């Protein structure tokens, strides 16, 4: 019998049940010690599960290739398994807990015979913070253990923090045999339980991340009066040394990691402005006695998309990956045993293996070297812009919430909601248009409320209600804004340069929060006066800036139709306040005269 790391009978009973179900050859409790991690890395290198990279250039870094059938989150295999279907709502796949447990038990049955089971205790959030929550993930994958070690705080400390409590999230993961037809990610919000089988891709198997910190936690927040959101958190320091914090929700692949690690334009840097990164993907928010919303980043690492990341587009992310990082599904340069991906630099390796492990020549091959969803798993503490407060147990106070999407025409560069209720409407109607690269069809709208469409663990109608409620409970809530970095002209060219220049928009947002700048009230909310966006040092014409801030009546009218269709799905679960806001918007747009 293996020595357990806890005497907590709730934990031990559950672990025993999983052992009986999966029947592993060995059981290993992960204590989080460097010694244990070292031996796991060695073991995984021996089996080929990971490859040690060039330790001079990439100390502590490893390379992993997943099965080509298993390279992304699978929304159609992801289920919310609560007792009543209506509580999962129209935007989630639902399965009854009975059916999901039965199906899961069938798949998990003896799936770890001849394998080692790893039991990973972990904390989402700094251990001991009043915001934090404990989870335990049982898995048969060393890759999962090593990634969880970067993305969360693993080991004995978390069990000590849990004590005798039964309040922990029970995660079971097995690669099984990576059978796509039996791949499921089941969430049981009523039981604090997650079961994931037949996948080894991060988003499906690092159960602390999307599964716990968003799907399960969003439901916990609904029950316990807090919020789990798909948001980055950053701090903006002005030359006086004052720091204001912003959290921002964007759909996947809209540049959250880039914004979280933004470097201000040179003119601002010279004056003493700085951006501090607190988190790049998830925020847990609570109301404190001061009536403000305070946020922590529950994660400890970045699980970032590699292609497109380079020293120009995101210097801080690149630096974060230079040590103790795991690279998944990128290209492997055989000359010096380092990594490469599209847009890494202008010098692709000629003697390489692509993400599938096939010989690949970056100069001549027409195929991509890295999978478009290839990833780096990097410790947050590596990031040069990491905030001194990123692990503050009390979190950071949020001044502004930003919602954003990828819209060609509809949304202006930035606008502010009239108040919290209107801001919730702005978040609830967030959307992104597909780009040619992602679907072959340009401009198809996917509505993605608060960027939580694939991550909300309960009925989104109730989720909107929870947002409205939190605004009523917080007497000093953040101001709510919407941004769109992706507006184009009639030739399809971007009007706004994006990246570090987005700081100019953040400055306007912070100034609005501090009542330092005026705005125009238009049909959709407050819009900057053209002269109030600082464009010093930026080569952009007034005409362009004006067109970034105009409203196009026709595309808003069309958007309203799409919102009506989307809201219709929620029936009487849609809070009345959101319909009221829709009616105000309709009226305002009708009265526009262009």
Q: How far is CA 145 from each of CA 20, 46, 56, 122, rounded to the nearest angstrom? A: 21, 16, 24, 10
* Stretch touching Mn ion by CB under 5 A, among 35-43, 274-282, 343-351, 465-473: 274-282
Q: Is 281 in the site for ligand OXD (CB under 6 A)?
A: yes
Part in contact with Mn ion (CB under 5 A); list of ranges 124-132, 281-289, 306-314, 397-405: 281-289
Rounded least distance, CB 499 to ligand OXD, Å: 19
CA atoms within 13 A on the CB side of 109: 7
The C-alpha atoms of residue 313 and residue 214 are separated, in whole angstroms, by 27
In the bound complex, what is the minimum distance in angstroms from residue 305's beta carbon to ligand OXD?
Answer: 7
Out of 254, 383, 456, 513, pick the active-site residue: 254
Residue 245: strand pairing partners: 235, 398
CB atoms within 10 A of CB 466: 22
Phi, psi (degrees; rounded to nearest 5) at 563: -65, -40
Q: Which residue is nearest to ligand OXD (CB)?
A: 252
Contact 260/234 with Cβ under 8 angstroms? yes
When binding is defined by CB under 6 A, the residue of 6, 147, 198, 252 that contacts ligand OXD is 252
Active site residue 254: yes
Min. distance of Cβ 53 from Mn ion in angstroms?
25
Name the residue nearer to ligand OXD (CB basis): 137 or 507: 137
CA dihedral 109, 110, 111, 112 (to 10 degrees): 140
Cβ(124)–Cβ(135) under 8 Å?
A: yes
The site for ligand OXD, by CB under 6 A, has a size of: 5
Number of neighbouring beta carbons within 10 Å of residue 34 = 8
* Residues in 481-540 at the binding interface with Mn ion, rule: CB under 5 A: none
Q: 89, 125, 135, 203: which one contacts ligand OXD (CB under 6 A)?
A: 203
* Residue 78 within binding range of ligand OXD, rule CB under 6 A: no
Q: Which is nearer to ligand OXD, 254 or 424 (CB)?
A: 254
Burial label for 283, CB within 10 Å (0-12, 13-18, 19+), is: buried
**Class of residue 553 by CB neighbours under 10 A (exposed 0-12, middle 13-18, buried 19+):** middle
The nearer residue to ligand OXD, 143 or 420, going by C-beta atoms, is 143
- Phi, psi (rounded to 5 degrees) for 147: -70, -40
Binds 338, which of Mn ion, ligand OXD, none (CB < 5 to 8 A, cut-off by type)? none
Which of residues 252 and 333 has its CB atom nearest to ligand OXD in the complex? 252
Q: Nearest approach, Cβ of 68 to ligand OXD (angstroms)?
A: 19
Distance CA 144, CA 155 (A): 14
Q: In angstroms, rounded to a whole number, what is the distance separating the alpha carbons of residues 187 and 182? A: 16
The SS3 of residue 557 is helix
Task: Name residue, tokens 């108040």.
Answer: 419
Residue from the set 281, 391, 433, 448 that interacts with Mn ion by CB under 5 A: 281
Chosen from ligand OXD, Mn ion, none, partner binding at 149 (C-beta under 5 to 8 Å by type): none
Q: Does 299 bind ligand OXD (CB under 6 A)?
A: no
Residue 203: contacted member of Mn ion, ligand OXD, none (CB under 5 to 8 Å, by partner type): ligand OXD
Q: Is 229 in the site for ligand OXD (CB under 6 A)?
A: no
d(CA 388, CA 274): 12
**Cβ atoms within 10 A of the Cβ of 592, count?**
15
Taking the complex as a whole, how short is the minimal distance between the CB of residue 281 and Mn ion, in angstroms?
A: 4
Does 140 participate in binding Mn ion (rule CB under 5 A)?
A: no
- Write out the residues near ligand OXD by the rule CB under 6 A: 73, 203, 252, 281, 303
Q: Catalytic amino acids?
A: 254
Give the interface with Mn ion as residue ranges (CB under 5 A).
281
């Amino acid at each position: 019998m293996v020595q357990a790391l806890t005497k907590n009978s709730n934990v031990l009973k559950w672990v025993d049940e999983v052992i009986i179900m999966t029947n592993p050859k060995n059981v290993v409790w992960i204590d989080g010690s460097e010694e244990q991690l070292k031996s796991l890395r060695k073991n995984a290198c021996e089996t080929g599960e990971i490859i040690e990279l060039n330790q001079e250039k990439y100390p502590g870094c490893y390379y992993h290739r997943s099965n080509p059938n298993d390279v992304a989150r699978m929304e159609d295999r992801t289920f919310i398994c609560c007792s009543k279907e209506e509580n999962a709502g129209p935007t989630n796949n639902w399965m009854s807990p009975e059916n999901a447990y039965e199906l899961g038990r069938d798949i998990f049955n003896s799936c770890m015979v001849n394998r080692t089971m790893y039991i990973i205790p972990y904390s989402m959030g700094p251990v001991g913070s009043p915001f934090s929550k404990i989870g335990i993930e049982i898995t048969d994958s060393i890759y999962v253990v090593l990634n969880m070690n970067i993305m969360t705080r693993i080991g004995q400390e978390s069990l000590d923090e849990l004590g005798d409590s039964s309040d922990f999230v029970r995660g079971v993961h097995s690669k099984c045999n990576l059978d796509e037809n039996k791949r499921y990610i089941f969430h049981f919000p009523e039981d604090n339980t997650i079961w994931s089988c037949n996948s080894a891709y991060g988003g499906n198997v690092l159960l602390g991340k999307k599964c716990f910190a968003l799907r399960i936690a969003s439901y916990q927040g609904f029950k316990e009066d807090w919020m789990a959101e798909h948001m980055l958190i950053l701090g903006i320091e002005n030359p006086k040394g004052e720091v204001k914090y912003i959290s921002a929700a964007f759909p996947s692949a809209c540049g959250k990691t880039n914004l979280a690690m933004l470097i201000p334009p040179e003119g601002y840097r010279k004056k003493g402005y700085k951006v501090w990164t607190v988190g790049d993907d998830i925020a847990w928010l609570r109301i404190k006695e001061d009536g403000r919303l305070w946020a922590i980043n529950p994660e400890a690492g970045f699980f970032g998309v590699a292609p497109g990341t380079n020293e120009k587009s995101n210097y801080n992310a690149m630096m974060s990956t230079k040590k103790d990082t795991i690279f998944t599904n990128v290209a492997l340069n055989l000359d010096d045993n380092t990594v490469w991906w599209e847009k890494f630099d202008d010098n692709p390796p000629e003697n390489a293996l692509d993400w599938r492990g096939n010989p690949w020549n970056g100069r001549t091959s027409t195929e991509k070297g890295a999978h478009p969803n290839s990833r780096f798993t990097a410790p947050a503490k590596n990031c040069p812009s990491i905030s001194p407060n990123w692990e503050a147990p009390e979190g950071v106070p949020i001044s502004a919430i930003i919602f954003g999407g990828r819209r060609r025409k509809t949304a202006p560069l930035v606008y502010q909601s009239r108040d919290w209720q209107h801001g919730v409407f702005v978040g609830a109607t967030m959307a992104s248009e597909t780009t040619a690269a992602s679907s072959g069809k340009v401009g198809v709208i996917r509505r993605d409320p608060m960027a939580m469409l694939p991550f909300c663990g309960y009925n989104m109608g109730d989720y909107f209600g929870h947002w409205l409620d939190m605004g009523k409970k917080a007497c000093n809530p953040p101001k709510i804004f919407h941004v769109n970095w992706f507006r184009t002209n009639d030739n399809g060219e971007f009007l706004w340069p994006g990246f570090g220049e987005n700081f100019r928009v953040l400055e306007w947002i912070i100034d609005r929060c501090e009542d330092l700048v005026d705005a125009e009230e238009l049909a959709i909310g407050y819009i900057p006066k053209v002269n109030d966006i600082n464009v010093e040092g930026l080569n952009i014409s007034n005409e362009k800036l004006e067109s970034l801030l105009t409203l196009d009546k026709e595309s808003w009218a069309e958007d309203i139709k799409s919102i009506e269709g989307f809201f219709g799905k929620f029936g009487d679960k849609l809070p009345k306040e959101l319909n009221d806001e829709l009616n105000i918007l309709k009226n305002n747009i009708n009265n526009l005269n262009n």
